[in-house]
């Protein structure tokens, strides 16, 4: 169940970090969803004000982003809403310079994201890192947003949506959509490469759409 600050992990991965895991180290990883799990808002919509200041979106688009952010923080987003957001964002970004977006996101991390990280999430991230576990963010947000957030939090890896880039600009297409089963598939591939024992691993999410990922890790009790 959610606690008073909104951070929770589903029962499929209910083990605490204090539980000892034999043969830990790099054979063990903790996989974290990002939006509403590590941070209290949509990481993508959080940068709408910065994109507006740099002339990438209009006043109307910025206002729509603010309304969508409020709705997301209150009620989250359904699978249908997530698909609509994906389509709207990829269409909106078409023609933007990818390097500029990365610079805007990196420069605005503290203001847009830093103060919205759940204190429980910070503690869990630190606990896993102290235990010698790799920490991986697995997010539907774009790599250019999730990547800098992961660097700010000191995580080991980030699995995120990748938009198609050609000649340095977004084309309006998606190379990889990190959602639902696709998250689980990429986590399994990463585990194969790194030698993680998935039965010893952890996963945290606020959404039932992440059940394929959550069912990969831990033990049912």
Strand partners, 142: 161
Residue 47: both structure tokens together: 């940068």
Angstrom distance (rounded) from CA 131 to CA 97: 39
Looking at the chain, which runs of residues are DSSP E strands?
29-32, 134-142, 157-166, 169-176, 202-204
The length of the chain, given as a count of residues: 221
Nearest in space to 166 (alpha carbons), one of 89, 88, 104, 97: 97
DSSP 66-96: HHHHHHHHHH---HHHHHHHHHHHHHHHTT-
Residues acting as catalytic residues: 33, 35
* 30 in Cβ contact with 204 (< 8 Å): yes
């Amino acid at each position: 169940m959610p606690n008073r600050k909104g951070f929770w992990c589903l029962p499929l991965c209910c083990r605490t970090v204090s539980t000892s895991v034999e043969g830990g180290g790099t054979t063990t990883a903790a996989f974290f969803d990002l939006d509403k799990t590590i941070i209290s808002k949509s990481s993508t919509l959080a940068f709408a004000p910065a994109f507006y200041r740099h002339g990438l979106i209009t006043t109307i688009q910025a206002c729509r982003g603010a309304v969508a952010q409020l709705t997301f923080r209150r009620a989250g987003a359904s699978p249908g809403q997530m698909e609509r957001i994906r389509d709207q964002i990829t269409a909106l970004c078409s023609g933007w310079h990818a390097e500029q977006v990365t610079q805007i996101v990196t420069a605005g991390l503290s203001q847009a994201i830093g103060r919205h990280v759940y204190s429980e999430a910070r503690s869990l991230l630190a606990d896993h890192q102290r235990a010698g576990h790799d920490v991986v963010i697995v997010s539907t947000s774009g790599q250019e947003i999730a990547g800098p957030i992961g660097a700010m939090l000191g995580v080991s890896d980030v699995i995120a949506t990748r938009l198609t880039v050609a000649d340095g600009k977004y084309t309006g297409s998606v190379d990889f959509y990190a959602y639902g089963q696709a998250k689980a598939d990429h986590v399994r591939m990463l585990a194969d490469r790194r030698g993680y024992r998935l039965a010893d691993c952890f996963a945290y999410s606020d959404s039932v759409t992440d059940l394929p990922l959550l069912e990969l890790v831990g033990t049912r009790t």
